[in-house]
């Protein structure tokens, strides 16, 4: 078991510096353009694929880093470059985590490579969980999956929303209801292969921030998929549903939920994204405060500015420590007895919103214009307290974990 340490080893430092260089040289120069265009930055994703960043091998290496710091380190550097473009590069990872969390070894080996494609033919994937009436309340999910035993096929019907890469993805991972009587415990995850009839893109959302990342509805109309596209397999599903029914009769609740398993694994990574955005805004504000003069001296000489920067840096470092702790715990198999994963996402997300707002204040009128990047960073930061579990939901998870109450 890897010991927890704040010192990156030489290999980690090399990867960090490589990612930082890509973020500085490729992502940042393209950020404003793709934010304005509100389109998927395919050329940047392709560049990431060419150098090996957008690939299964790269994310596998970071995912299996024995210290647990590979993924958060990568997320922080890429999102330091730009949140919208970075999300387009890493968005496929959420679908991949969905397969890793719930799939068999054969399914992992079959479907995850198809999510990425290669440098000459880049593909993306989408994880589809939220619905118009089921965001934080996953128990209200209505998308149904019905098993056609005669054909060994699952038939999916419903509408998903807020899906990153939804509709443009090569592979969609869809969470659906298989037993409505069990609420959130009656859900399962499915692979919808490329070009499957009945799956279409609904509304594409025009967003406040992360505008270079494609977000849309996914409509499923009598979508038929082979039985082997049920993640984990039917035998495992039947066993899990049987346990859930028995525990429901006995008044128990502790049964694994497909969507929640994915979110539990990804929350520290979202926290790392938020840390990257916050750090980027802080650095712009710090440089500005050191060079902007008013009343004959740099504005950083004023305590009102200096103290803000001190608080910003302190919060960023504290957020990173929470993210690293949760990532290390997850990798080394230590249970989140105090909801450490949710803690990391909560604090880092709120830090990103606060720090980017303070950065605008320090830049004054310049910060309110698109001539400086902090305006975009502030818009981007708003998403961290919303997606993959709102800040309110994180607080609920933490409180219920501490009290021993069931997390529904």
Residue 44, Cβ density class (10 Å: 0-12 exposed, 13-18 middle, ≥19 buried): buried
Could you give the C-alpha distances from 297 to 119, 305, 315, in angstroms and in order? 51, 12, 27
From the candidates 131, 217, 350, 388, give the one annotated as an active-site residue.
388
Give the whole-angstrom CA distance, residue 172 versus residue 124.
9
Cβ-Cβ contacts under 8 Å for 228 (sequence gap 6 or more):
107
Contact 28, 44 (CB under 8 A): no
- Do residues 235 and 165 make contact, with C-beta atoms less than 8 angstroms apart? no
Is residue 201 within 8 A of residue 219, CB to CB? The reply is: yes
Q: For the chain, first and last CA: distance in Å?
A: 32
Q: How many CB atoms lie within 10 A of CB 251?
A: 6
Contacts for 207 with CB less than 8 Å, ≥ 6 apart: 38, 215, 383
As given in the structure block, the two tokens for residue 247 are 């525990």
Task: Tell me which residue of 380, 328, 313, 320 sits closest to 345, measured CA to CA.
Answer: 320
Catalytic residue at 3?
A: no
Detail the DSSP E strand segments found in 50-198: 117-118, 121-122, 125-128, 144-148, 153-164, 171-177, 187-192
The angle that helices 70-81 and 56-63 make with each other, rounded to 10 degrees, is 130
The Cα 274–Cα 87 span in angstroms is 11
Catalytic site positions: 388
């Amino acid at each position: 078991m890897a010991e927890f340490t704040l010192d990156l080893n030489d290999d980690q430092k090399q990867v960090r510096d490589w990612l930082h260089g890509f973020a500085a040289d490729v992502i940042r120069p393209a950020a404003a353009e793709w934010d304005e265009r509100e389109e998927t930055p395919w050329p940047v994703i392709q560049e990431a694929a060419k150098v090996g960043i957008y690939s299964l091998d790269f994310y596998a290496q970071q995912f299996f880093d024995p210290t647990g710091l590979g993924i958060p380190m990568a997320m922080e550097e890429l999102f330091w470059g730009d949140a919208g473009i970075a999300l387009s590069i890493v968005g496929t990872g959420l679908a991949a985590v969905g397969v890793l969390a719930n799939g068999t070894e054969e399914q992992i080996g079959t479907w995850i490579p198809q999510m990425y494609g290669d440098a000459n033919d880049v593909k993306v994937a989408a994880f589809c969980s939220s619905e118009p009436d089921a965001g934080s309340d996953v128990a209200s999910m209505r998308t149904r999956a019905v098993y056609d035993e005669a054909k060994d096929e699952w038939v999916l019907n419903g509408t998903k929303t807020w899906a990153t890469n939804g509709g443009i993805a090569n592979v969609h991972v869809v969470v659906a209801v298989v037993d409505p009587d069990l609420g959130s415990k009656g859900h399962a995850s499915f692979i919808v292969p490329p070009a499957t009839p009945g799956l279409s893109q609904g509304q594409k959302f025009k967003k406040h921030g992360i505008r270079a990342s494609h977000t849309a509805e996914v409509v499923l109309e009598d979508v038929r998929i082979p039985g082997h596209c049920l993640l984990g397999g039917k035998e495992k599903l039947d066993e899990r549903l049987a346990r859930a029914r028995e525990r429901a009769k006995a008044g128990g609740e502790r049964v694994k939920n497909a969507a929640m398993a994915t979110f539990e694994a990804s929350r520290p990574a979202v926290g790392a994204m938020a840390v990257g955005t916050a750090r980027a805004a802080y650095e712009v504000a710090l440089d500005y405060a050191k060079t902007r003069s008013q009343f004959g001296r740099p504005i950083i000489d004023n305590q009102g500015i200096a103290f803000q920067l001190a608080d910003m840096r302190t919060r960023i470092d504290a957020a990173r420590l929470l993210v690293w702790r949760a990532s290390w715990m997850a990798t080394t198999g230590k249970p989140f007895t105090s909801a450490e994963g949710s803690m990391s996402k909560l604090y880092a997300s709120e830090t990103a919103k606060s720090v980017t707002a303070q950065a605008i204040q320090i830049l004054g009128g310049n910060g309110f214009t698109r001539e400086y990047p902090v305006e975009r960073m502030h818009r981007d930061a708003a998403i961290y307290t919303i997606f993959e579990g709102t800040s309110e939901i994180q607080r609920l998870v933490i409180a219920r974990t501490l009290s021993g109450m069931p997390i529904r």
